[in-house]
Structure 1
Amino acid sequence: MNYLNGIDPSPFFVLSLIPYLAFLWWAQKSDSIPKVALWGFRLTLLFVLMTIALAIVAKVSYGAELTDIDYLHGTAEAFLTLSDALVVLGFAGLGKAEVVNNS
Protein backbone atom coordinates (compact mmCIF):
# COMPACT_ATOMS: atom_id res chain seq x y z
CA MET A 1 0.00 0.00 0.00
CA ASN A 2 3.01 2.34 0.11
CA TYR A 3 2.49 3.16 -3.56
CA LEU A 4 -0.64 5.12 -2.53
CA ASN A 5 1.51 7.53 -0.51
CA GLY A 6 2.91 8.97 -3.72
CA ILE A 7 -0.48 9.87 -5.21
CA ASP A 8 -1.47 13.53 -4.99
CA PRO A 9 -5.12 13.66 -3.82
CA SER A 10 -5.74 17.19 -5.16
CA PRO A 11 -7.10 16.10 -8.56
CA PHE A 12 -9.59 13.79 -6.85
CA PHE A 13 -10.93 16.65 -4.74
CA VAL A 14 -11.34 18.82 -7.82
CA LEU A 15 -13.03 16.01 -9.73
CA SER A 16 -15.42 15.38 -6.84
CA LEU A 17 -16.79 18.89 -7.30
CA ILE A 18 -18.30 17.95 -10.67
CA PRO A 19 -20.92 15.51 -9.35
CA TYR A 20 -21.56 17.73 -6.32
CA LEU A 21 -22.25 20.75 -8.51
CA ALA A 22 -24.53 18.56 -10.65
CA PHE A 23 -26.36 17.53 -7.47
CA LEU A 24 -26.75 21.19 -6.44
CA TRP A 25 -28.11 22.03 -9.89
CA TRP A 26 -30.65 19.20 -9.62
CA ALA A 27 -31.53 20.04 -6.01
CA GLN A 28 -32.19 23.67 -6.91
CA LYS A 29 -34.70 22.60 -9.55
CA SER A 30 -36.32 19.96 -7.35
CA ASP A 31 -39.36 20.67 -5.22
CA SER A 32 -38.52 17.76 -2.92
CA ILE A 33 -35.48 19.42 -1.31
CA PRO A 34 -36.43 21.90 1.44
CA LYS A 35 -34.98 25.37 0.94
CA VAL A 36 -33.18 25.36 4.30
CA ALA A 37 -31.56 22.02 3.46
CA LEU A 38 -30.57 23.36 0.04
CA TRP A 39 -28.75 26.23 1.75
CA GLY A 40 -26.97 23.67 3.91
CA PHE A 41 -25.83 21.80 0.82
CA ARG A 42 -24.63 25.06 -0.72
CA LEU A 43 -22.73 25.98 2.43
CA THR A 44 -20.80 22.74 2.13
CA LEU A 45 -18.94 24.46 -0.71
CA LEU A 46 -18.06 27.26 1.72
CA PHE A 47 -16.69 24.62 4.08
CA VAL A 48 -14.50 23.28 1.26
CA LEU A 49 -13.28 26.78 0.39
CA MET A 50 -12.53 27.62 4.03
CA THR A 51 -10.72 24.30 4.52
CA ILE A 52 -8.48 25.02 1.55
CA ALA A 53 -7.80 28.59 2.69
CA LEU A 54 -7.07 27.58 6.28
CA ALA A 55 -4.87 24.69 5.15
CA ILE A 56 -2.77 27.23 3.24
CA VAL A 57 -2.61 29.47 6.32
CA ALA A 58 -1.52 26.50 8.45
CA LYS A 59 1.21 25.53 5.97
CA VAL A 60 2.52 29.07 5.39
CA SER A 61 2.25 30.38 8.96
CA TYR A 62 3.07 27.26 10.95
CA GLY A 63 4.67 24.87 8.47
CA ALA A 64 2.13 22.23 9.54
CA GLU A 65 -0.97 20.45 8.29
CA LEU A 66 -4.37 21.95 9.04
CA THR A 67 -5.24 19.04 11.33
CA ASP A 68 -2.25 19.89 13.52
CA ILE A 69 -3.38 23.46 14.27
CA ASP A 70 -6.43 23.06 16.48
CA TYR A 71 -7.98 26.50 16.24
CA LEU A 72 -7.70 26.61 12.44
CA HIS A 73 -9.01 23.08 12.09
CA GLY A 74 -11.88 23.86 14.47
CA THR A 75 -12.76 26.96 12.48
CA ALA A 76 -12.93 24.95 9.26
CA GLU A 77 -15.03 22.26 10.93
CA ALA A 78 -17.43 24.91 12.23
CA PHE A 79 -18.46 25.61 8.64
CA LEU A 80 -19.18 21.91 8.14
CA THR A 81 -21.22 21.86 11.36
CA LEU A 82 -23.25 24.86 10.17
CA SER A 83 -23.96 23.32 6.77
CA ASP A 84 -24.88 19.95 8.31
CA ALA A 85 -27.19 21.64 10.82
CA LEU A 86 -29.07 23.42 8.04
CA VAL A 87 -29.47 20.16 6.11
CA VAL A 88 -30.86 18.44 9.21
CA LEU A 89 -33.17 21.33 10.07
CA GLY A 90 -34.45 21.47 6.50
CA PHE A 91 -35.28 17.79 6.34
CA ALA A 92 -36.57 17.63 9.93
CA GLY A 93 -39.51 19.75 8.85
CA LEU A 94 -40.57 17.10 6.33
CA GLY A 95 -41.33 14.62 9.10
CA LYS A 96 -44.04 16.80 10.59
CA ALA A 97 -47.49 16.04 9.26
CA GLU A 98 -49.50 19.07 8.31
CA VAL A 99 -52.87 19.25 10.05
CA VAL A 100 -55.68 20.01 7.66
CA ASN A 101 -58.93 21.24 9.09
CA ASN A 102 -61.72 20.48 6.61
CA SER A 103 -64.61 21.46 8.82
Structure 2
Amino acid sequence: MNPMSITTSSAFWKSGDGVSDQFPAGLRVLVVDDDPTCLRILEEMLRICLYEVTKCSRAEVALKLLRDNKDGFDVVISDVHMPDMDGFKLLEHIGLEMDLPVISK
Protein backbone atom coordinates (compact mmCIF):
# COMPACT_ATOMS: atom_id res chain seq x y z
CA MET A 1 0.00 0.00 0.00
CA ASN A 2 1.21 3.48 -0.82
CA PRO A 3 2.16 5.28 2.44
CA MET A 4 0.60 8.46 1.03
CA SER A 5 -2.82 6.81 0.74
CA ILE A 6 -5.71 7.33 3.15
CA THR A 7 -8.56 4.83 3.42
CA THR A 8 -11.98 5.74 4.78
CA SER A 9 -15.04 3.56 5.22
CA SER A 10 -16.16 3.98 1.63
CA ALA A 11 -13.71 6.26 -0.13
CA PHE A 12 -10.11 5.75 -1.19
CA TRP A 13 -8.05 8.91 -1.70
CA LYS A 14 -4.53 8.86 -3.10
CA SER A 15 -2.14 11.74 -2.96
CA GLY A 16 -1.82 13.15 -6.46
CA ASP A 17 -4.27 10.67 -7.99
CA GLY A 18 -7.51 12.52 -7.22
CA VAL A 19 -10.58 10.78 -5.89
CA SER A 20 -11.87 7.31 -6.70
CA ASP A 21 -15.42 6.65 -7.86
CA GLN A 22 -16.49 5.84 -4.29
CA PHE A 23 -18.64 8.26 -2.29
CA PRO A 24 -17.55 9.38 1.21
CA ALA A 25 -20.10 7.65 3.45
CA GLY A 26 -21.42 9.68 6.33
CA LEU A 27 -21.15 13.08 4.64
CA ARG A 28 -23.57 15.40 6.47
CA VAL A 29 -25.67 17.23 3.88
CA LEU A 30 -28.25 19.96 4.41
CA VAL A 31 -30.68 20.16 1.47
CA VAL A 32 -32.75 23.33 1.11
CA ASP A 33 -35.61 23.52 -1.39
CA ASP A 34 -39.18 24.82 -1.22
CA ASP A 35 -40.35 22.08 -3.63
CA PRO A 36 -41.27 18.97 -1.58
CA THR A 37 -40.81 16.67 -4.59
CA CYS A 38 -37.27 17.92 -5.19
CA LEU A 39 -36.50 17.53 -1.49
CA ARG A 40 -37.72 13.94 -1.48
CA ILE A 41 -35.81 13.00 -4.65
CA LEU A 42 -32.58 14.58 -3.45
CA GLU A 43 -32.92 12.95 -0.06
CA GLU A 44 -33.39 9.51 -1.62
CA MET A 45 -30.43 9.96 -3.98
CA LEU A 46 -28.13 11.20 -1.22
CA ARG A 47 -29.13 8.41 1.16
CA ILE A 48 -28.20 5.88 -1.54
CA CYS A 49 -24.71 7.42 -1.35
CA LEU A 50 -24.81 6.76 2.42
CA TYR A 51 -24.96 10.47 3.26
CA GLU A 52 -26.64 11.79 6.40
CA VAL A 53 -29.36 14.07 5.03
CA THR A 54 -31.22 16.88 6.73
CA LYS A 55 -33.83 18.56 4.59
CA CYS A 56 -35.39 21.96 4.96
CA SER A 57 -38.03 23.75 2.91
CA ARG A 58 -37.18 27.32 3.97
CA ALA A 59 -33.87 29.15 3.65
CA GLU A 60 -34.40 31.09 6.90
CA VAL A 61 -34.87 27.84 8.82
CA ALA A 62 -31.80 26.36 7.11
CA LEU A 63 -29.73 29.35 8.17
CA LYS A 64 -30.89 28.92 11.77
CA LEU A 65 -29.99 25.20 11.63
CA LEU A 66 -26.53 26.09 10.35
CA ARG A 67 -26.00 28.78 12.99
CA ASP A 68 -27.18 26.50 15.81
CA ASN A 69 -25.06 23.55 14.59
CA LYS A 70 -21.85 25.21 13.36
CA ASP A 71 -20.04 21.87 12.90
CA GLY A 72 -23.16 19.84 12.10
CA PHE A 73 -22.92 19.82 8.29
CA ASP A 74 -20.25 19.18 5.66
CA VAL A 75 -22.06 20.68 2.65
CA VAL A 76 -25.26 22.51 1.74
CA ILE A 77 -27.28 21.89 -1.43
CA SER A 78 -29.66 24.76 -2.01
CA ASP A 79 -32.26 25.78 -4.54
CA VAL A 80 -31.68 29.27 -5.93
CA HIS A 81 -35.31 30.38 -6.23
CA MET A 82 -37.16 30.23 -2.92
CA PRO A 83 -39.94 32.47 -1.61
CA ASP A 84 -38.49 33.43 1.79
CA MET A 85 -34.88 34.11 0.78
CA ASP A 86 -33.00 33.98 -2.50
CA GLY A 87 -30.57 31.05 -2.59
CA PHE A 88 -27.74 33.44 -3.41
CA LYS A 89 -28.52 35.43 -0.26
CA LEU A 90 -28.34 32.18 1.72
CA LEU A 91 -24.99 31.47 0.06
CA GLU A 92 -23.80 34.96 1.05
CA HIS A 93 -24.75 34.39 4.71
CA ILE A 94 -23.07 30.99 4.78
CA GLY A 95 -19.92 32.40 3.17
CA LEU A 96 -19.70 35.27 5.65
CA GLU A 97 -20.51 33.27 8.79
CA MET A 98 -19.08 29.78 8.26
CA ASP A 99 -16.59 27.84 6.21
CA LEU A 100 -18.95 25.48 4.41
CA PRO A 101 -19.24 24.52 0.73
CA VAL A 102 -22.58 25.27 -0.94
CA ILE A 103 -23.96 23.74 -4.12
CA SER A 104 -26.67 25.91 -5.67
CA LYS A 105 -29.14 24.36 -8.07
TM (normalized to structure 1)? Answer: 0.27
* Higher normalized contact order (CA 8 Å, seq sep 6+, divided by chain length): 1
Structure in which a larger fraction of residues adopt strand: 2
* Larger Rg belongs to: 1
Q: Is the helix fraction higher in 1 or 2?
A: 1
